[in-house]
Amino acid sequence: MNAVKRRENIENILMSSDKPQKGHILAEKLGVTRQIIVKDIAILRAKGKSIIATPEGYLIPKTGNNKIKQVIAVSHKSCEIEDELITIVKFGATVEDVIIEHPIYGEIKGMLMIKSIYDVKSFINKVLSTKSEPLLVLTGGIHLHTIYADDISIINNVKKELKLKKYLISD
C-alpha cells in the first residue's frame, strides 16, 4: 500500500471510530511502524485534517453544531483531578482539553476528550502509572477546560457543582 492510500485509510478509520485509536494499533492494522503513523498523522494535519492526539490515541472530533461549548477556569490540587472530572462528566458534559498559561511557552493545551466516568478512571490510571505530573502543577492548580454538552442546562449544572466544590474560579 502506498503512502497516499495509507493516509486515506488512517482518515477513514478515525472518521468511522467513536473512540481514539492508538498509534501502535493503527500501525498493526496498516502493516507499518508507529513512527510511520506519527508521520502520516502530521502530514494529514498539515493538509488541514482535524486530527487530535489524546492520551488514549488519535481521533477526529465529532462535535456537532448543536453542541454548547464553554471554557471554564478552575483551580484545585492534583489529588482533586478525579473528582473535578467526574463532576463534569456525570452531568453529560465532555471535557475536551486542559489549558494552562506558561510564562515561557504561553498557552499549553492537552487534548483530553473525556466523556464518561470510565474515561476519567482511564486518565487517572495513566497519570499514576506513568508517574507524570499533570499540567496544573505548573500553575499552582489554575487551569482552563473547554467543555461541551448538548444543552446549556448541562453546562450550568456542571458550573454550579464546580462552584459548590470551590473548583470554579468566578468573578
pTM here? 0.77
Q: What's the half-sphere exposure (Cβ side, CA atoms, 13 Å) at 87?
A: 20
* Domain 68-164 CATH superfamily: 3H domain (3.30.1340.20)
CA–CA separation, 38 and 117 (whole Å): 29
Which of the 8 DSSP states describes residue 35?
H
What is the chain's mean pLDDT, rounded? Answer: 92
Q: Are 100 and 133 in contact (CB under 8 A)?
A: no
171 has a pLDDT exceeding 60: no
Which comes out higher in pLDDT, residue 65 or 57? 57
Q: φ, ψ for residue 16 (rounded to 5)?
A: -90, 0
Residues 93-122 have pLDDT tens digits of 999 999 999 888 899 999 999 999 999 999
For residues 146-169, give the mean pLDDT.
Answer: 95
Domain boundary assignment for the chain:
3-59, 68-164
54 has a pLDDT exceeding 90: no
**Topology (CATH) of 3-59:** Arc Repressor Mutant, subunit A (1.10.10)
Q: What confidence score (pLDDT) does residue 64 get? A: 61
Residues 124-157 have pLDDT tens digits of 999 999 988 999 999 999 999 999 999 999 999 9
